[in-house]
Amino acid sequence: MTLKTEADNPASRHIDKLSTSEILDIINAEDAKVAPAVREALPHIARAVDLIAATLSSGGRLYYIGAGTSGRLGILDAVECVPTFSAPPDLIQGLIAGGEQALTRSVEGAEDDPAQAEHDLEARGLRAVDVVCGIAASGTTPYVIGALKYARTLGAGTIAVACNPDPPIARLADIAISVDLGPEVISGSTRMKAGSAQKMILNMMSAATMIRLGKVYGNLMVDVKVTNDKLMRRAIGLVQRLAAVDETRATQLLNAADNEVKTAVVMQRKAVAADRARQMLSAAGGRLRAVIGDVD
């Protein structure tokens, strides 16, 4: 099987002879191909979002799994959903071939062990109600293939993300997202265009899923988890804007709401205590708009 991600790129064939600015011009020109390629996959990404949103709404979890750059990107996206959307840490999980040590250094041969993927998912308690997203730039990584095969035996949902046309992992997934980026600037270095495409796709999937789950009002991060001064300032600003109050009142509301932006806003807009505000939000599936309507 000939992999485009491993092929020679004519545009960069003599890149080692060029000046720094010329090198960067070539890299930038190749990077410009990423977004259009991802756009071609939007219908498949949309199907993946619908599957993930339905899974999480029904008590399931999302598992990203990959090797090398792909695995690291999955873990990054999973981790960032916690502060951005107050997602429980186990709701979206990332696994990488070779375990945590592979986050900072290469673990030789880890990606070639499909059985280890099954052990890793079993250890995380994968269930039929969950969904597994296998990420592999080549689409051929044995560790990812093993993960998708195991998920299918349980009846779990499966998604494949790859950067080659018609990759093997696509045939093991309910939904296949394949982007054709052509060869890399440095042949086989899939941390470049392929890595950028994968990050875009994972960001799209998680962000769109969280929007579907009511964790965004308008384009505002109303489920932000306040863990530092910057996020506290953001939360205060959100309450000021959505509850139409000054900074002092916004701070008081957040204190009474245990720093939950949506709860604080409902408290002010509906003139209720924190517990009642939470009940109203719960009855609305966590969707702030369903409780307070549109706010100018």
Q: Give the whole-angstrom CA distance, residue 250 versus residue 240.
A: 6
Tens of pLDDT, residue by residue over 250-269, are 999 999 999 999 999 999 99
User: What tokens were used for 244?
Assistant: 């139409």
Report which of 25, 141, 271 is spatially closest to residue 291, judged by C-alpha positions: 271
- What percentage of residues in the chain have a pLDDT greater than 90? 93
DSSP-based helix, strand, coil % in the chain, nearest 5: 55, 10, 35
Q: What is the DSSP letter of 15?
A: G
pLDDT at position 5, please? 84
pLDDT at position 6, please? 83
Residue that is written with structure tokens 């079993």 in the block: 122
End-to-end CA distance of the chain: 56
Average pLDDT over residues 29-34: 96
Please state the length of the chain. Answer: 296
Return the sign of the alpha-carbon dihedral for residues 209, 206, 296, 273. positive
Average pLDDT over residues 213-234: 95
Whether residue 150 has pLDDT greater than 70: yes
Average pLDDT over residues 168-182: 96
pLDDT at position 236, please? 98
Q: Give the whole-angstrom CA distance, residue 25 versus residue 17.
A: 14
| Residue 254 near residue 239, CB atoms below 8 Å | yes
Q: Measuring CA to CA, how many Å separate 23 from each of 8, 12, 80?
A: 16, 8, 32
Whether residue 155 has pLDDT greater than 80: yes
Domain ranges, ordered by start, for the chain: 4-212, 229-292
Q: Among the listed ranges 4-8, 167-171, 173-177, 262-266, which one has the minimum average pLDDT value? A: 4-8
- Average pLDDT score over the chain: 95
| Residue 116 near residue 97, CB atoms below 8 Å | yes
Tens of pLDDT, residue by residue over 70-123, are 999 999 999 999 999 999 999 999 999 999 999 988 887 889 999 999 999 999
Q: Give the whole-angstrom CA distance, residue 125 versus residue 145.
A: 18
pLDDT at position 1, please? 60
pLDDT band at residue 57, thresholds of 50, 70 and 90? very high
Catalytic residue positions? Answer: 80, 111
Q: Give the whole-angstrom CA distance, residue 96 versus residue 110.
A: 9
pLDDT at position 37, please? 97
Q: Are both 4-212 and 229-292 of the same fold?
A: no
Total Cβ atoms within 10 A of residue 103? 14
The phi-psi region of residue 68 (left if phi > 0; otherwise alpha if psi is between -120 and 50; otherwise beta) is left
Q: Give the whole-angstrom CA distance, residue 12 versus residue 27.
A: 8
- Topology of 4-212 in CATH? Rossmann fold (3.40.50)
Q: In angstroms, how far is CA 1 from the centroid of its own chain?
A: 29
| Residue 74 near residue 64, CB atoms below 8 Å | yes
Whether residue 201 has pLDDT greater than 90: yes
Q: Give the whole-angstrom CA distance, residue 199 versus residue 233.
A: 28
From the CA atom positions of the chain, what is the Rg in Å?
22
- What top-level class would CATH report for the domain 229-292? mainly alpha
Cross-strand partners of 94: 64
